[in-house]
Structure 1
Amino acid sequence: MKYVSTRGGIAPVGFTEGVLMGLADDGGLLVPDHLPQLSSDTLERWRGLSYQDLTLELFSLFTGDEIPRSELKAMINESYATFRHPEVTPVRRLSDDLYLLELFHGPTFAFKDVALQLLGNVYSYISQQTGSIIHILGATSGDTGASAIAGVRGKPGVRICILYPEGRVSKVQELQMTTIADENVLNLAIDGTFDDAQRIIKELFGDVAFKQRYHLRAINSINIVRILAQITYYFYAYFRVTEQQGSAKIAFSVPTGNFGDLFAGYLAGRMGLPIERLILATNENDILVRFVQEGEYRPAAFRGTYSPSMDIQVASNFERYLYYLYGEDVGKVSGLMTEFRAQGFLNVPSADQERVRADFEAHSVQNDACLDTIRQTYQDTGYLLDPHTACAVAAAGAQGTEAGVTIALATAHPAKFNEAILLAGLEQSFPPEIGALFNLPQRQQLSPATSEAIAGRLREFFGAATDAAQLREELLLGERNRVSG
């Protein structure tokens, strides 16, 4: 398996090089050079596999022979041993036609743990096998930062810096990042929005000289491993629900901001999982809904909502979808992204809009509707939704999909967003792991929301380790030359 850029400006790379590259050096995003096609017989053989073994079968399709199967299996088992539920991502039935896929049983109570526990171990493995310097730079709207830190904290040879928008994440999300005392972790709160943080990340990764000088590695969903690791739970949920529902048509309703989680489901469908419909659920920051419904991708005014992890205007993974929408035409994708950078929006013709609407239904959930859904679901079922999952549940009920059963992705534990729970007029008790955070000291630094300011902080944080590593490389090279001479 090789990986290519959505913009066609780099030669195909292998799995390891793709992981280390993160954002493609031409500014595009990496995608597999082909998608494995799975037969119905294969799906039936996999139906009874544990989550870990199913991940092994799927993930190994994308690693090729670069990681021995035995070592990949051990890496996967280690990653999911940190989860509180034996099934890793269990499915909960709410009604005859609605299930929840619980993705919040990892260390930080968020769906990002599913991919980032694995990616952290992949990075550690690559560092040990190749001697690569792993300096991770990421941006978060709340959950990615805590999950990424949990995946790599204390790991030798790995350092991580996370940017997050000051005052625009929940208190628990902030505490999960800023109470970590490990010296290989740096949190920078920026004076701006998540879109500003994401822009800075792309600018710094796009500066190839800076990226290479400081060995920057990606933890956001621009890293293809994030997407590949999330494919598994679509298959796993499909198997569990069809065990109960037989041959029922299955739809997925996905709360999305950066389009990565939904894109993983899209790839699962292209690989052969018989998904009837993918429902794209957003909050009032509805750029993706407007694209699906109207064919125009144009950021609007930022709105702070009760579901802050989806308060995103420019979705990183949107470019990957364009790649498949236009038949893997890298010239077309490159042109569209140039157009978007130049004028701040892009449009697709009506014929293309029909294909988009064939791929997705889309619904924007307003703030009041989000709280109403939390209240009503609790009243009807006794189940407490977090505000992001509430958007998925509301969207599932609003779309009138022809699918017999909808699986809504429950992306976070409600304890991470107690602000919304209180506004809904409800109370909850915190899991001990979250309650303990409020008694810990915080470590955080503020920074202007500019690439220049962040670059300066990174030179300080990554610089000493970079210089030491390069000195070791030079000494080893000199020793090899002396011996060979």
Structure 2
Amino acid sequence: MNYYSTNHKASPASLQEAVVKGLAPDKGLYMPEQIPLLPQAFFEHIGEMGLTEIAQTVAQSFFGNDIPKENLDAIVADALNFEIPLVEIEDGIYALELFHGPTFAFKDVGARFMARMLSYFVQERNQENVVVLVATSGDTGSAVANGFLGVKGIEVVVLYPSGKVSPIQEAQFTTLGQNITALEIEGTFDDCQALVKSAFMDKELTSQMFLTSANSINVARFLPQSFYYFHAYAQLARKGKAGEMVFSVPSGNLGNLTAGIFAKHMGLPVKRFIAANNRNHVFFDYLYSGQYAPHASVTTIANAMDVGNPSNFDRILDVYGRDHARIVADLSGQWHTDDTIRKTIRTVYQQTGYVLDPHAACAYRSLKDGLSPGETGIFLGTAHPAKFRETVEECLDKSVDIPPALRAFMHRKKQSQPLSSDFEEFKKTLIRLS
């Protein structure tokens, strides 16, 4: 399958080109030329299938013409070597726990898949001097860094906003060394993302090194996130409760939501989606006004959603032919203040004993406020609560257990380089690293 740019000014690219380049030459995001519709038989038997088999089937529909089945199946199986359980929190409301991977965040799915696919293509091309650039507001950096750690022939540069990620998140990508470099940017996530995009457009840089991205702008990062929407449906089917599904998705850069929209267009019987925003509610504003007005992000306790100009907005527009009426037929939005998020963490624990992280709390609150009678609600638990220990413990007035594997990161030495948000300074740093 070929991939086109959302700006429609670049030539179509093969899967290999789209994955290795990351961003199209015209600054657009790559999109598959078609969204394949999965056969009805798949959905009739999905309750009998496990996560790996479901993911391999979905992956085959997108990537099967470009990667031999044996290799693709191996990539999926190796990437998804952890559980993604669906947990009932209260009657009709479930948490899809996406934080059981090695970095305890949902981005393990897409990042591990992309690392293995990119490694496969690098070996196929006999490519050298590949530099993966990734901007992070928290969990993307740790998932990508750990996914690529020690991969021969690939250097990873993680850009993150100074003081705006949790200590545990920071430790997960600043303490690794080897082929991982962390750049602590004086600015916001949007500044980090702008530096990455500018690097791709700089001819001097791209002539000296082979740049690619591991943010959700890369098709190999966001498409695999559709896997767990199907897996959630399979678990409901096994319980005999697969009714009118509504997904509430913590929404920052919109990659996770876009993956769910792709799943729906592939035939997954989703009734609708709720985009859960914090005070960075530019997408909420678009849904209810039809006007898109990106702005500088503000800092919140749900920091992974602190995005004022979400990249994947263009993909959502593209899927729906830029038709606002079609978009709002499938999507609604909610946004919440830090105070509401804190209150939700506290109230849900008092009523159910379940511990939410700030992003899941935002999604739960949006679902609770927006669910209609007869609907089955699923909110995405995108990170382990311990990754936001200080916030969660303050809300609960009790300590939060930290998994041993997560605690281990905290005892390692931080290795990061402070940098301004000036592109020329960033460019010089990249050249020195190469």
Q: TM-score range by the shorter chain?
A: over 0.9
Larger displacement relative to structure 2 (33-42 or 362-371): 33-42
- Residue 90 of structure 1 corresponds to 85
Match of 1:139 among 128, 135, 140: 135
Q: Using the alignment, how far apart are the partners of 2:410 and 2:35 within structure 1? A: 45
Structure 1 residue identity aligned to 2:57: E
Q: Decide whether the 8 Å contact of 1:139 with 1:220 is kept in 2.
A: yes
* 1:362-441 to 2 correspondences below 5 Å: 362-401=333-372, 404-424=375-395, 425-441=397-413
Unaligned runs of 5+ in 2: none
1:259 aligns with 2:231: no
Residue 441 of structure 1 aligns to a residue whose secondary structure is: coil
Of the two, which has the highest radius of gyration?
Answer: 1
Change in CA separation of 1:301 and 1:186 when aligned onto 2, cut-off 3 Å: closer
Larger displacement relative to structure 2 (450-459 or 433-442): 433-442
Structure 2 residue identity aligned to 1:454: F
- Residue 50 of structure 1 corresponds to 50
Change in CA separation of 1:320 and 1:245 when aligned onto 2, cut-off 3 Å: same
Structure 1 residue identity aligned to 2:404: P
Deviation at 1:318, TM superposition (A): 0.4
- Residue 425 of structure 2 corresponds to 453
- Residue 197 of structure 1 corresponds to 192
Q: Using the alignment, how far apart are the partners of 1:102 and 1:91 within structure 2? A: 6
Q: Using the alignment, how far apart are the partners of 1:54 and 1:361 within structure 2? A: 28
Structure 2 residue identity aligned to 1:108: T
Q: Using the alignment, how far apart are the partners of 2:20 and 2:386 within structure 1? A: 34
- Residue 70 of structure 1 corresponds to 70
Residue 76 of structure 1 aligns to a residue whose secondary structure is: helix
Match of 1:168 among 159, 164, 189: 164
Q: Decide whether the 8 Å contact of 2:296 with 2:309 is kept in 1.
A: no
Q: Decide whether the 8 Å contact of 1:276 with 1:403 is kept in 2.
A: no
- 1:322-350, Cα deviation, whole Å (9 max, x unpaired): 112226xxxxxxxxxxxxxxxxxxxxxxx
Q: Decide whether the 8 Å contact of 2:248 with 2:273 is kept in 1.
A: yes
Q: Using the alignment, how far apart are the partners of 2:242 and 2:78 within structure 1? A: 34
Q: Using the alignment, how far apart are the partners of 1:386 and 1:403 within structure 2? A: 27
1:37 aligns with 2:33: no
- Residue 336 of structure 1 corresponds to none
Q: Using the alignment, how far apart are the partners of 1:301 and 1:3 within structure 2? A: 31
Q: Using the alignment, how far apart are the partners of 1:440 and 1:119 within structure 2? A: 26
Q: Decide whether the 8 Å contact of 1:257 with 1:309 is kept in 2.
A: yes
Q: Decide whether the 8 Å contact of 1:251 with 1:403 is kept in 2.
A: no
| % identical equivalent positions | 37
Q: Decide whether the 8 Å contact of 1:277 with 1:401 is kept in 2.
A: no
- 1:325-377, Cα deviation, whole Å (9 max, x unpaired): 226xxxxxxxxxxxxxxxxxxxxxxxx44322212110001111101111111
Structure 2 residue identity aligned to 1:48: E
Q: Using the alignment, how far apart are the partners of 2:292 and 2:36 within structure 1? A: 30
- Residue 285 of structure 2 corresponds to 290
Change in CA separation of 1:208 and 1:32 when aligned onto 2, cut-off 3 Å: farther
Residue 169 of structure 1 aligns to a residue whose secondary structure is: coil
Q: Using the alignment, how far apart are the partners of 1:284 and 1:247 within structure 2? A: 32
Deviation at 1:300, TM superposition (A): 4.1
Q: Using the alignment, how far apart are the partners of 1:74 and 1:247 within structure 2? A: 30
Q: Decide whether the 8 Å contact of 2:254 with 2:311 is kept in 1.
A: yes
1:358 aligns with 2:329: yes
Unaligned runs of 5+ in 1: 328-351, 463-485
Change in CA separation of 1:401 and 1:314 when aligned onto 2, cut-off 3 Å: farther
- The alignment's C-alpha RMSD in Å is 1.5
Q: Using the alignment, how far apart are the partners of 2:173 and 2:110 within structure 1? A: 17
Structure 2 residue identity aligned to 1:321: I
Residue 204 of structure 1 aligns to a residue whose secondary structure is: helix
Residue 28 of structure 2 aligns to a residue whose secondary structure is: coil
Deviation at 1:403, TM superposition (A): 5.3
Residue 446 of structure 1 aligns to a residue whose secondary structure is: strand
Structure 2 residue identity aligned to 1:371: R
Deviation at 1:247, TM superposition (A): 4.6
Deviation at 1:212, TM superposition (A): 4.5
Q: Using the alignment, how far apart are the partners of 2:5 and 2:259 within structure 1? A: 17
Q: Decide whether the 8 Å contact of 2:274 with 2:332 is kept in 1.
A: yes
Deviation at 1:71, TM superposition (A): 1.4
Q: Using the alignment, how far apart are the partners of 1:324 and 1:249 within structure 2? A: 22
Larger displacement relative to structure 2 (140-149 or 291-300): 291-300
- Residue 174 of structure 2 corresponds to 178
Structure 2 residue identity aligned to 1:432: P
Deviation at 1:436, TM superposition (A): 2.2
Residue 378 of structure 2 aligns to a residue whose secondary structure is: strand
Larger displacement relative to structure 2 (116-125 or 34-43): 34-43
- 1:51-103, Cα deviation, whole Å (9 max, x unpaired): 1121111112222332111111122222223x3xxxx2111111111000010
Q: Using the alignment, how far apart are the partners of 2:294 and 2:393 within structure 1? A: 30
How many residues of Structure 1 are paired with residues of Structure 2 in the alignment?
432
1:270 aligns with 2:265: yes
Q: Using the alignment, how far apart are the partners of 1:403 and 1:4 within structure 2? A: 39
